[in-house]
Chain A
Amino acid sequence: MTYVPLTPLDLVLAAALLVVNGIISWVFRLKLERSIAIATIRMVLQLALIGLVLKFIFAQTSPLWTVLLAFVMVGAAGFEVVSRQHRRIKGWQAFGFSTATLLFIGMVITGLGVGVIIGPDPWYAPRYILPILGMVLGNTMTAIALVLDTFSETAHRERAAIEARLALGANRLEALSHVLHVSLRTGMMPILNSMATTGIVALPGMMTGQILAGVAPVEAAKYQVLIMFLIASATALGSFFGGIGAVLLLTDARHRLRLDRLNAPK
C-alpha cells in the first residue's frame, strides 16, 4: 500500500481556501466570520486530537482504551442528539434514553460487523472497531435526532387532533400513530436516499479513504457495501427506539399528551 503523506505546508495551502468563505460572508454581510473561524479551529483541533488519541490506542494492546474511547463517543453522540432538538424534552430522560439506545445499537451492530462478519485478529482490534463504531453512531445519532425533532414538532402542531383521538378513547399509541408514522419515515429517509445515490453522485468517504490509501477499488467497494448495510439497520433500529422513546416521554401512563414536558423552541 502506498500513499502520498501530507506535509503541514499542504494543509496551510488548503486552509487558505477558506478565505473564499470569508469573502462571501463579508460581501453579503452574513456575519458568519466568527462561526467560520470557530468551526475551522474546532475541526482542526478535534481531528488532530483524535489522530493523536488513535495513535496512542493503536499502540496499546489492551482493549480497555478502545472501550473507554467508545464510551466517550457514545456519550458525545447522545449529547448531540439532545442539542439538535428544536423543542427539547425537559429533564435528563431524553439524554439518558438516547445514550442508552446509541450504546445498545453501537454494541450490537458494530459487534456484528466487526466481531462476526469482518473477524479481525484480535477481535477488539481498535483499527476496525473504532472507525466502524463511529460511522454507525454518527448515522444512528442523526436518525434519533430527526425522529425526536419531527415527533415533537408534529405532535405540537397536531395537538388538537391527538387529544381529540384520546378523548374518543384511543390509547396513546393509536392517538400518536400518525405522528409516529411521519417521524419514522423522516428518520429512515436519509440512509435510503444515500444508498440509492451512492457511487453515482458521490464516492462515500470511507471508500475514498481506502482508495487513497492504496486499497484495490473493488475491495474498497466491498467494505462500503458492508458499512451501508450496518448503517441502514442501525438507523432503522435508532428510528424505532427513538419513536418509542418519544411516545413514552411525551405521554403518561394515563394516556395523556404531555407537551408540557417540551421546552419552548430555541
Chain B
Amino acid sequence: MLRVEQLQAGALPPLTFEVADGECLAVEGPSGAGKTRLLRAIADLDAAPGQVFLDGAERNEMTAPQWRERVRYCAAEPAWWSDTPRGAFPEPIDETRLDRVLAAIGLEPDALDKPTAVLSTGERQRLALARAIVDEPKVLLLDEPTAALDAQSAALVEELIKYQMLSGRSVILVSHDHDQIERLAHARLQLAKTETTSSKNDKEETS
C-alpha cells in the first residue's frame, strides 16, 4: 500500500491520500495543475516536503534508487538513450517475461532491436511502459500512458494496467480520458488550477 502524507509537490497544497494494493487512483485536473509534479514527487525525482510510505517504509528509509525500483514513474514522453530500445531496459532482462509483456500490448519482440528513431511514437510509448513494468515494481505512476496511442493499442494498454492491478500493484494514473478513468480508477484526486504554477522547473504538459 502506498500512503502519501502532507506531501507538498511544487505549488500544490499538502496532499494526503492512500492507494491500496491492486487499486488505481486517478489524478485529474487542468493542464498546469501539477499532476506531473505530484507523480515526480512521489517517485522522489523532485524534492518535496512531507512523507511517502510504501508498505509502512518511508522513502528516506531506503536509498533513492531502491525507492524508485519499487515506486516507478513512467513519463508522458518516453526518453531513449541507446541506439535500440533493448539497451535502455533495466538489466538483467527476463526475456520470457518481456516477450509476454510486449505481446500483451501488441508489439513484436523484434521491436526491441529496431533503431529507436524508426519506431513510431505509439510504439515508443508502449515500449516505455514495458520498460517500466518488466522488473515488477510495487507502484506504477503512469503519466498519460495512452496519450500517443490509437484506440486499439490504448485498449491493450488498459488491459495490461488492469492485469498489473490484479497482480497486487498500486497504480496512480494521470489521464485526460474520462472514460478511461471510469474504466480503471477506484478513486479520484481532483487538482485545482493553482495560482502560482509558473515554477520554472514545471514542464507539465507543455507538449
Q: In the bound complex, how far is the Cα of B88 from the Cα of A158, in angstroms?
A: 14
Query: Which bracket fits the contact residues of B?
Result: 20 to 34
User: CB within 8 Å of A: which of B32-79?
Assistant: 43-47, 63-66, 68-69, 72-75, 77-79
Q: In the bound complex, how far is the Cα of B72 from the Cα of A169, in angstroms?
A: 8
Chain A residue with the shortest CB-CB distance to B78: A164
**Are A169's CB and B79's CB within 8 A?**
no
**Are B90's CB and A158's CB within 8 A?**
no
User: For chains A and B in complex, what number of residue pairs have CB atoms within 8 angstroms?
Assistant: 64
Q: Which residues of A are found within 8 Å of B74, using beta-carbon distances? A: 167
**Are A178's CB and B75's CB within 8 A?**
no
A10 at the binding interface (Cβ < 8 Å): no
Q: Convert A141-179 into 0s and 1s, putting 1 for each residue whose CB lies closer than 8 angstroms to a CB of B.
A: 000000000000000001011011111111100000010
| Interface size in chain A (residues, C-beta < 8 A) | 19
Q: How far is the CB of B156 from chain A (nearest CB, A)?
A: 22
Q: Which residues of A are found within 8 Å of B196, using beta-carbon distances? A: none
A86 at the binding interface (Cβ < 8 Å): no
Q: In the bound complex, how far is the Cα of B77 from the Cα of A167, in angstroms?
A: 13
B138 at the binding interface (Cβ < 8 Å): no
**Are A160's CB and B68's CB within 8 A?**
no
Q: How far is the CB of B43 from chain A (nearest CB, A)?
A: 6
Q: In the bound complex, how far is the Cα of B48 from the Cα of A254, in angstroms?
A: 11
**Are B64's CB and A167's CB within 8 A?**
no
Q: Which residues of A are found within 8 Å of B73, using beta-carbon distances? A: 167
Q: In the bound complex, how far is the Cα of B80 from the Cα of A158, in angstroms?
A: 10
Q: Which residues of B are found within 8 Å of A163, using beta-carbon distances? A: 45, 75, 79
| Given A167-B43, A260-B200, CB of A178 within 8 Å of CB of B81 | yes
| Given A161-B81, A256-B44, A260-B200, CB of A168 within 8 Å of CB of B68 | yes
Q: How far is the CB of A83 from chain B (nearest CB, A)?
A: 23
Q: Which residues of A are found within 8 Å of B46, using beta-carbon distances? A: 256
A88 at the binding interface (Cβ < 8 Å): no
Of the listed residues A158, A164, A166, A256, the one surrounded by the most CB atoms of chain B closer than 10 A to its CB is: A164
| Given A163-B45, A166-B68, CB of A255 within 8 Å of CB of B79 | no
A219 at the binding interface (Cβ < 8 Å): no
| Given A163-B45, A256-B44, A256-B64, CB of A168 within 8 Å of CB of B72 | yes
Q: In the bound complex, how far is the Cα of B88 from the Cα of A137, in angstroms?
A: 40
Q: Which residues of B are found within 8 Å of A255, using beta-carbon distances? A: 63-65
Q: Which residues of B are found within 8 Å of A168, using beta-carbon distances? A: 68-69, 72, 90, 131-132
**Are A158's CB and B81's CB within 8 A?**
yes
Q: How far is the CB of B71 from chain A (nearest CB, A)?
A: 9
Q: Which residues of B are found within 8 Å of A257, using beta-carbon distances? A: 45
Chain B residues engaging chain A, CB cutoff 8 angstroms? 43-47, 63-66, 68-69, 72-75, 77-81, 88, 90, 128, 131-132, 135, 200-201
Apart from A167-B75, A169-B90, what are 18 other A-B pairs with CB-CB below 8 Å? A160-B75, A160-B79, A161-B81, A164-B88, A166-B45, A166-B64, A167-B45, A167-B72, A167-B74, A168-B72, A169-B65, A169-B135, A254-B44, A255-B64, A256-B46, A256-B47, A256-B64, A260-B201
6 contacts between A and B (CB under 8 A): A163-B75, A164-B79, A164-B88, A167-B75, A169-B65, A169-B135
10 nearest CB pairs, A to B: A160-B79, A169-B69, A161-B81, A255-B64, A161-B79, A164-B79, A254-B64, A167-B73, A169-B68, A169-B65
